[in-house]
Amino acid sequence: MIMGRFGFGSKKKHEEPVEETPIVDDSSSDDDWDDDDSEDESLSVYDAAFIWMSNGKDEDYTFGYTEEELEAAL
């Protein structure tokens, strides 16, 4: 019989139960994450304008400033 060759249809040996570790959701206690809007790491409009200009005035590098504010700071 071919099926017995691969373990199908053969008698099962006694297996010990596997102890499972519970999944713990500790995302609510993650104090290491800092909000992007924190004031302690703000970028001055002058630094932002320099970075914006250095990147070809790409809108991805405005850092929350308007293009008018960045132009005025240059």
Taking only the tens place, the pLDDT of each residue in 16-61 is: 777 777 777 666 655 555 555 555 678 999 999 999 999 999 999 9
Domain boundaries, the chain: 41-74
pTM for this structure?
A: 0.47
Grouping H, G, I as helix, E, B as strand and the rest as coil, residue 47 is: helix
Helices within 1-74 (DSSP H only): 45-54, 67-73
**Dihedral of the alpha carbons of 45, 51, 56, 57, in degrees to the nearest 10:** -20
Single-letter amino acid, residue 28: S
